[in-house]
């Protein structure tokens, strides 16, 4: 700031008044200061400024699994809209489903004194957040709950969504239904597996563990699962994909399978309605998930002190054709 003052021929106090948009600065003086700022590439330190004023940093932190996943991109966009309406900006990081990286990102955001945190947890240990929360840091978990602390949480109705998917396939005559999902230590995968089992019971279908494949989803792992579950004399006649990424992998793998099984995806995805046949999905409003979590976070930022809340948002079946194929 002293370099700016020297170049503009004014005092440091005058530079401070200009960068903080304070009144009583002559327009010509302000013009010289702004020209000096542009020439020197000066940027004000918002963090230091806010600490001096005792105000907020104007940011919130968001940690998701993978910002490149359309699910999380849409979620993040919804959060940004709410944050913007409250005059905040969003810092986002991807944990890559790694608990250590999640912790590193969260603590980095805390060190930057964000005004609050939205977290899609990768791990099950979150006691490291307790000191930050006791110091007043609002934290909301979304899509998955915290592992070992009590905190605000916004979830999808994974259980009933899977029950509805199994029931829908059963009503179309399917008795051997495969389930391809993520690792069972991930909350959403575990809940959807629980819903798959419950759905089988309600539909009068004997649950067969051999018709499930739970692992980190890659094109290779899903191809192997499809080959094991959907070919041969005891093949499944229908498959439920545990999330949008798995559904895309399944569709690629099914290009080599005949006859084609029925397919239901938990999560919608781009162009699913334009395929042949269009993909039946368990749909939900990802934007609503992000909005609900962000609104809850800003309620805490603005002083809401009620006990931690758990919000479960509904899902619904969207029949389009692939889930209505008979065995």
pLDDT mean for each 10 residues of the chain (327 residues): 82 80 80 81 52 66 94 95 95 95 94 94 93 93 94 98 98 97 95 98 95 95 95 93 96 90 96 96 96 97 95 98 95
Q: What is the pLDDT of residue 46?
A: 46
> How confident is the model at residue 314, as a pLDDT?
97
For residue 12, the model assigns a pLDDT of 82
Two structure tokens written together for 190: 């575990």
Gyration radius of the chain over CA positions: 25
Q: CA–CA separation, 230 vs 89, rounded Å?
A: 47
Round to the nearest angstrom and report the end-to-end CA distance of the chain.
74
pLDDT at 307: 95
What's residue 221's pLDDT? 96
The residues pairing with 38 across neighbouring beta strands, listed in sequence order, are none
- pLDDT value at position 22? 76
Extended strands (E) in the chain: 59-64, 89-94, 117-119, 139-142, 152-156, 177-181, 212-214, 238-241, 262-266, 280-283, 310-313, 316-318
Scanning the structure block, which residue is given the tokens 């969207």?
318
């Amino acid at each position: 700031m002293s370099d700016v003052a020297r170049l503009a021929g004014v005092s440091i106090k005058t530079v401070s008044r200009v960068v903080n948009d304070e009144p009583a600065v002559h327009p010509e003086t302000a013009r010289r200061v702004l020209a000096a700022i542009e020439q020197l590439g000066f940027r004000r330190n918002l963090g230091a400024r806010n600490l001096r004023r005792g105000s907020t940093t104007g940011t919130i932190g968001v940690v998701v699994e993978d910002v490149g996943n359309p699910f999380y991109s849409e979620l993040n966009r919804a959060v940004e809209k709410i944050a913007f309406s409250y005059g905040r900006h969003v810092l986002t990081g991807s944990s890559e489903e790694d608990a250590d990286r999640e912790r590193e990102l969260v603590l980095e955001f805390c060190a930057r004194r964000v005004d609050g945190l939205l977290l899609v947890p990768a791990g099950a240990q979150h006691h490291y957040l307790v000191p930050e929360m006791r110091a007043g840091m609002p934290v909301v978990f979304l899509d998955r709950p915290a592992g070992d602390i009590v905190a605000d949480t916004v979830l999808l109705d994974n259980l009933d969504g899977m029950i509805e998917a199994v029931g829908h396939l059963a009503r179309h005559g399917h008795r051997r239904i495969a389930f391809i999902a993520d690792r069972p230590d991930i909350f959403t995968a575990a809940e959807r597996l629980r819903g798959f089992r419950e759905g089988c019971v309600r539909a009068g279908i004997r649950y067969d563990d051999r018709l499930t494949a739970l692992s980190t989803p890659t094109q290779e792992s899903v191809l192997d699962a499809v080959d094991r579950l959907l070919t041969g004399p005891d093949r499944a006649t229908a498959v439920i994909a545990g999330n949008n990424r798995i559904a895309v992998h399944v569709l690629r793998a099914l290009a080599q399978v005949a006859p084609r099984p029925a397919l239901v995806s938990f999560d919608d995805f781009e162009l699913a309605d334009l395929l042949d046949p269009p993909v039946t999905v368990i749909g939900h409003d990802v934007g609503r998930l992000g909005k609900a979590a962000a609104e809850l976070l800003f309620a805490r930022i603005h002083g809401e002190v009620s006990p931690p809340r758990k919000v479960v948002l509904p899902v619904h079946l969207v029949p389009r054709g692939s889930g209505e194929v008979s065995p």
